[in-house]
Amino acid sequence: MKRPRVLVCLLAFGVIVGLAQLTPLRAHTSGAATVSALHTAQPASAKDAAKTFLGKIVQARTQDGQNVYALQEASSQDLFLLDDQAKAEKFEGKQVKVTGTFDMASRTIHVVDIEAV
């Protein structure tokens, strides 16, 4: 009777761990957000059109302990790294509109402009 219960628990744990690895970056409601990886931002090509992203500038921490600013997207609560940390710092904790190009591979927004909303 205990053996099937243990197997079910182990299976459930494996599924949860697997899903956690596939889940996009998430902000935590208390304290600083954690960013799973910081990738070096590559400049967007000129052919990439700038897009608008709405959300809140939050301070996040990479797995190696580096503090960075990220955009916590309004509708999904996903975190996106911002390549212009100096601009982002001015808007920490504020709702903003970020204009820039998105690098899907590194989940980084190459910032053209940030303005409060």
What pLDDT is stored for residue 91 in this prediction?
98
What pLDDT is stored for residue 9 in this prediction?
44
Is 105 within the bounds of a domain? yes
Is 81 within the bounds of a domain? yes
Is 13 within the bounds of a domain? no
Write the pLDDT tens digit of every residue in 71-82: 999 889 999 999
Q: List the CATH number of the domain containing 29.
A: 2.40.50
Tally Cβ neighbours within 10 Å of residue 69.
20
Is 16 within the bounds of a domain? no
Is 15 within the bounds of a domain? no
Q: In this structure, what DSSP letter does residue 84 have?
A: -
Is 39 within the bounds of a domain? yes
Residue 52: φ, ψ to 5°: -110, 135
Q: Which residues contact 62 (CB under 8 A, 6 or more apart)?
A: 34, 35, 36, 37, 38, 68
What pLDDT is stored for residue 69 in this prediction?
97
Residue 65: φ, ψ to 5°: 90, 5
Is 20 within the bounds of a domain? no
Tokens of residue 36, six digits:
């799973």
Write the pLDDT tens digit of every residue in 43-71: 445 446 899 999 999 999 878 889 999 99
Is 65 within the bounds of a domain? yes
